[in-house]
Amino acid sequence: MPAPMVIIKTLIFIILVPGSVTVGIPYLLLSSGWWRYAYESESLWLVGIVPIALGAFTYFRCAWDFVFDGHGTPAPLDPPRMLVSSGLYRMVRNPMYVGVGFVLVGEAIVFQSVALFTYALVVWLCLHLLVLWYEEPTLRRSFGRAYDEYCQTVPRWIPRLGLSSGAGPSAAGRPSARAS
């Protein structure tokens, strides 16, 4: 069982960071009047509920795994103590970011907003560059060959369909840099 403080810090991080990215900034974009071009459909907004629910579930499940399996938080200043390669991390290496992307695309559909679709694309590009230039090199320095094997086994963004997705090498007991 993790310390209660880890749970509290995780909740604070969720409110501040993904909360800002998926709720705060979209609200500002929609309410500011900036780039108000929208498409109109009577029932298409219902379709957007599915990616929002899937994305939120994905993010919260990954945060749970960070707390309970990794004994840390999603925050880079207090990362999991152990490499998290269970749960959704068996399917893709960055499920938290995939979850955020699903939420943003779902919001763009619900609010029928081209601005939110554009924002979702910019966020994904920024996250992709963060993964390439910071997270993967940091994890590679921390775990060396074990992380390389994990990368060979688990794809970065899109799960392999029809193939068994393993978690890569056993990471139990290893100290961790952040794997999101």
Domain extent listing, the chain: 4-153
Is residue 176 within 8 A of residue 83, CB to CB? The reply is yes
User: Which pLDDT score is estimated for 38?
Assistant: 57
Residues forming beta bridges with residue 113, ordered by sequence position: 38
Residues of the chain by 3-state class (helix, strand, coil), percent to 5: 60, 0, 35
Both tokens of 20, joined, read: 């800002």
Look-up: residue for tokens 């921390």? 142
Neighbouring CB atoms inside 10 A of 34's CB total: 9
Retrieve residue 163's tokens: 């193939």
What is the architecture, at CATH level 2, of domain 4-153?
Answer: Up-down Bundle (1.20)
The pLDDT tens digits along the chain (180 residues) read 678 888 999 999 999 999 999 999 999 998 876 555 556 666 777 899 999 999 999 999 999 999 998 888 888 888 777 788 889 999 999 999 999 999 999 999 998 888 999 999 999 999 999 999 999 998 888 778 888 988 999 999 999 876 554 544 444 434 444 455
**Could you tell me which residues are beta bridge partners of residue 82?**
175
Q: What is the pTM of this model?
A: 0.84
In angstroms, the CA 121 to CA 123 distance is: 5
